[in-house]
Amino acid sequence: MKRAVLYARVSTKRQATEGFSLDQQIERLREHAAEHGYEVFGEYLDPGHSGAKLERPGMDLVRDRVQSGGIDLVLAQDRDRFARMPELVYLLKYEFAKHGCKLRALNASPAGTARPRRPTTGAGNPDSAPRRRGG
């Protein structure tokens, strides 16, 4: 069976009360995982954390879990739940792909789930992705 972890984030009270609550996100992610034959191996939350940076407690745990292996998919409600900037989403896709894991948002087209290509030079090199070490 395919293995997935679920990720949900809200950065404001407004998001939490206007249809983006963590509970609503996780419920929809559970439904999607079940409908597509994924066994859920973890649910990670970041309440009250901005998507402007990758360093968030829940996202740090997701990254650690993917790095440990055995996860096929990280699933979120929307692309911007992973990160606000497309460049950061790309970095996550690249990082996860190195471990055989895909990143998918429910609102993304199937084309958006393709394995990313690695840039060869410049500041966009994914090997320089921000990453908090430890704990």
pTM of the complete model beyond 0.85: no
Q: Summarize pLDDT for 65-122 with one digit per residue, the tens.
A: 999 999 999 999 999 999 999 999 999 999 999 999 999 999 875 544 444 444 444 4
Q: Which of 47, 61, 63, 53 is nearest to 95 (CA)?
A: 63
pLDDT value, residue 116: 43
pLDDT value, residue 135: 46
- Structural domains of the chain, with CATH: 2-128 (3.40.50.1390)
Q: How far apart are CA 21 and CA 28, in angstroms?
A: 11
